[in-house]
Amino acid sequence: MEIKTIVMPKVNQKAIADQLGISRATVSRCFTNHAGINATTRAKVFQLAAEMGYTHLEPRSPAVKKARKKVSFNILICSDTEEYFRDDYKSPGEQILVGVSEFAQAHQIDVNIDFISPSVTSFDDPAFTKIKSLKSRKNRGLLLIYPFADSIIKELSYQFPLVSLVDQLEHQSIDCADVDHSSGISMLIDRLTSKGHRRIGFYTREYTIAASWSFRRYSAFVEKMARTKLKVSNRDIIGVFPRKFNSVISGIDEAIKRTKEGVTAWVCAADHQAYDLIDGFERQGLQIPNDVSITGFDGIQKSDDRPALTTIDIPFRAIGMTGADRLASRIRKRFGGSQSIYISGTLIEGETVARPKS
């Protein structure tokens, strides 16, 4: 029997350069914090290196004099790579990394990026043990992108200076930099009511790990509707307990039903949810915004065949820079009081909001 040997492509800087269509020298300069490399390119190189499993090893230099202590950031992204690198959706994490990269370059901070699957629930999982850089805790801190399992955050917070770039449920004791969910939802509802909408629903869906941002935006929705003196029917809330559904399709079907029974606008917890809703509505012959208005929350660029959403543009770059700055402070002062910093987004006028049908 003939045995075929499969040769796996070598993971090195040239492989990264070839895939991104840039020079190997550019890739090398990204890992050495060269001032001539822009933050977006650095972020793309770091992301691809993490996806390919490449680890940068710094060359040893002669110990002539005592070197200044080098600070390092580990960025942990709780996402499957297939979801993170979707062709039809620009990941928020990618944009946050640009801000982190800018701060790291300006302050000569080494950055390592690793992906952790949402299915991982323990720090003892092989997904963590294979991250060699985590074994060296000296002058090292962690930035978290996307919600992580509760047990993982507890263990990480015991061992490392830690800053999350999204609110983590039940973990107000850790530092956080995030968008101001309340002001964003408030702007969206103001926009809808200015068009004459009074019966407004809220739409979200379940995720492998509970989406803290979804809960924050739901609570902001309820608060704003109360302050505006608009009634909220429990039946017009989709995706939040006790109105959870077994699948995305069943949730969309319920939204279609509620729309036919009088809901004139839907506030979605995220842009990708809003686009799912638009697709589902259009399959049933409902036109956006002629028959129903829809808003999102993210400011992610639309694909060519979809309408531009009325949404909130999240300042991802500012969140990345602010979180990195806070982590650098946390490394210097390990046990100081925690801070949560919320940065306001901007309303984007899209093509998905109109006056309700009379």
* pLDDT for residue 207: 85
Per-position b or e across 72-99, b if 16+ CB within 10 A of its CB? bbbbbbbbeeeebeeeebbbbbbbbbbb
* pLDDT for residue 32: 64
* pLDDT for residue 52: 63
Which of 347, 340, 240, 255 is closest to 297 using CA atoms?
347
* pLDDT for residue 68: 52
Distance of CA 341 to the CA centre of its chain: 16
Model confidence pLDDT, tens digit, residues 314-329:
999 999 999 999 999 8
Low-confidence ranges of the chain (pLDDT < 50): 1-9, 58-67
Model confidence pLDDT, tens digit, residues 179-236:
999 999 999 999 999 999 999 999 999 888 888 899 999 999 999 999 999 999 999 9
pTM for this structure? 0.76
Per-position b or e across 10-43, b if 16+ CB within 10 A of its CB? eeebebbbeeeebeeebbbbbbebeeebebebbb
* pLDDT for residue 191: 98
* pLDDT for residue 341: 92
> Which residue do the tokens 């029997």 mark?
1
What residue ranges of the chain are covered by domains with CATH 3.40.50.2300? 13-57+70-179+317-343, 181-313
Architecture of the structural domain at 181-313: 3-Layer(aba) Sandwich (3.40)
| CATH pick for 13-57+70-179+317-343 out of 1.10.10.2120, 3.30.413.10, 2.40.160.60, 3.40.50.2300 | 3.40.50.2300
